[in-house]
Structure 1
């Protein structure tokens, strides 16, 4: 039977029945389900873990595991499909273009010294001397006779690759005390030794120095690492924080990437003292 406007009551009843008995479209929270494993950059891991917790609250059917190692691990796990997404805290190289990168924020690599050190600025040439073992005393830089201890991160760290490229010295030729563990351990080692110098994430150094005051970041050729100098591009060691995928991300991974690049998490990025992207 065709229902026309001649039967307004019946038409209203049928429409109401459709509303009552037809299944309603599932909400986004109900549609999304499954699990993601995200591995890689130790610098990015705490931020991505916070984003994951927030995403899980929005989508109860989703479970996300975040494991921090280093950027090299994030790349290798992604290439061999041992994860859902990788975390790589630097730009991808030409030889890594088989992967797709999705920037979620900006950071920088900064050189740090003890809070009671008088070192405020160093040139690229001076840092090259320090990290090749050609300088072992601060006297030639600041006139103070004090043993100099250069602290290195592991060669799988994006920070080491960035420093290597900046100083134009192969990673294999960098010299110093190797601390392959987290940036936090490097920061604490520098804070406890007035003759030490190391390099770490700007975000982590900024948080530690603002709360503890036991380290300070030095300028590179007069350019101090600050949030403003990272935003305007004047600081030389800026790096991008990437989620990476092998080919097209799965629907769930794509939704999580979209969330990590949205304004909904802008406060989280700022809370970790990284820089939001204008996406």
Structure 2
């Protein structure tokens, strides 16, 4: 599936990082004539970057941006190594990662969410009710069938099939895995103590369970496997709809079942964005509030504050400033069901962008 989300890949070799052509404009003075920036990482953020890039390039004719959906883990790693200028990630870097890489910035560009989708013959038109503990049970193998008592209790009156559940997880380093496993960890102490959360986790061995790469791979795995369940970023809502897959209502911290909607994503964000620190590394998962959807997150640009040269730094700053301001316009974000950064968070992102040099 990786070829499906590398459509904007440049013919330039990534091993050479950005292609930078500079023309002199007088003694000791130079200006970037053409700067190519490489963005890679989150497959959840990838569709939005592909919406953004043509508009950004039109407004900035001297800058070209290539995009790749390779997973948040790759985005973080390649931004740290300097192979790319922008690593896209649904996950913020951990304290140990920051300690080892103090020049790396985690800059929110928008707010997104994750859905729990399933392929349940005859029931994909119903919003099954699920909880963190039930999902943890499915993914650790303790809940093996769709008509298990724990699922039936959440869905009284709904006839569930006596069929084995096929849990699907990401095989690549993934911010989607990060926020999904955070929901399981924050809602289910036993999962937190046994598996925990991260862009990669040691998934319990569940007979029949499947692995898939990227959000496109997760959608395809669900389509091809009746009775399966997976976690998929909301930016793939159209693909999920076209495949006629089901979408779950999730139990939030207040004990209410909610769908990922503009209202519930905003409600969750309102609860936690005010606690965003200056470095903007914070989990928005499992927010309090009756209307809060439990799996939302910042979409991060992972960027080195110290770029290779002034022209590249200027181009990176232009891209991130545009994305976090004009790129947060409703006509862009509605296409992927994202929400705009609140003004206070936009200011924090602007302060971080200003550090790039």
Q: 1:255 to 1:54 in 2, by over 3 A?
A: same
- Larger radius of gyration between Structure 1 and Structure 2: 1
Per the alignment, residue 81 of structure 1 pairs with: 82
Per the alignment, residue 121 of structure 1 pairs with: 129
TM (norm. structure 2) is 0.64
Q: What's the offset of the Cα at 1:104?
A: 1.3
Per the alignment, residue 266 of structure 2 pairs with: 231
* Deviation readout 1:136-187 (Å, 9 max, x if unpaired): 2112123531221111112511111222222223221344533332313322
Larger displacement relative to structure 2 (169-178 or 58-67): 169-178
Per the alignment, residue 135 of structure 1 pairs with: 143
Provide the C-alpha distance between the structure 2 equivalents of 1:65 and 1:108, rounded to a whole number of angstroms. Answer: 24
Q: Report the count of equivalent residues.
A: 248
SS in 1 for 2:202: helix
Q: 1:264 to 1:190 in 2, by over 3 A?
A: closer
- Aligned pairs for 1:78-117 within 5 A: 78-97=79-98, 98=102, 99-114=104-119, 116-117=122-123
Q: What's the offset of the Cα at 1:82?
A: 0.8
Per the alignment, residue 4 of structure 1 pairs with: none
- Aligned pairs for 1:183-198 within 5 A: 183-198=215-230
- Aligned pairs for 1:252-271 within 5 A: 252-263=315-326, 266=329, 267-271=331-335
Q: What's the offset of the Cα at 1:264?
A: 5.0
Q: 1:271 to 1:106 in 2, by over 3 A?
A: same
Provide the C-alpha distance between the structure 2 equivalents of 1:213 and 1:180, rounded to a whole number of angstroms. Answer: 17
Provide the C-alpha distance between the structure 2 equivalents of 1:175 and 1:106, rounded to a whole number of angstroms. Answer: 32
Q: What's the offset of the Cα at 1:248?
A: 4.8
User: Would you say the 8 A contact 1:33–1:252 is kept in 2?
Assistant: no
Q: What's the offset of the Cα at 1:53?
A: 1.9
- Aligned pairs for 1:1-279 within 5 A: 33-97=34-98, 98=102, 99-114=104-119, 116-117=122-123, 120-140=128-148, 141-142=151-152, 143-168=160-185, 169=191, 170=195, 171-176=201-206, 177-204=209-236, 206-209=237-240, 211-212=241-242, 214-221=244-251, 222-233=257-268, 234-248=292-306, 250-263=313-326, 266=329, 267-278=331-342, 279=346
Provide the C-alpha distance between the structure 2 equivalents of 1:272 and 1:214, rounded to a whole number of angstroms. Answer: 18
User: Would you say the 8 A contact 2:183–2:295 is kept in 1?
Assistant: yes
User: Would you say the 8 A contact 1:106–1:240 is kept in 2?
Assistant: yes
Query: Where in structure 1 are there 5+ consecutive unaligned residues?
Result: 1-29
Provide the C-alpha distance between the structure 2 equivalents of 1:37 and 1:212, rounded to a whole number of angstroms. Answer: 31
Provide the C-alpha distance between the structure 1 equivalents of 2:135 and 2:260, rounded to a whole number of angstroms. Answer: 16
Provide the C-alpha distance between the structure 2 equivalents of 1:49 and 1:162, rounded to a whole number of angstroms. Answer: 23
* RMSD of aligned alpha carbons: 2.3
Larger displacement relative to structure 2 (180-189 or 76-85): 180-189
Q: 1:261 to 1:220 in 2, by over 3 A?
A: same
Regions of 4+ moved over 6 Å:
none
* Deviation readout 1:234-276 (Å, 9 max, x if unpaired): 1111111111211256111001110101135522222222222
Q: What's the offset of the Cα at 1:103?
A: 1.2
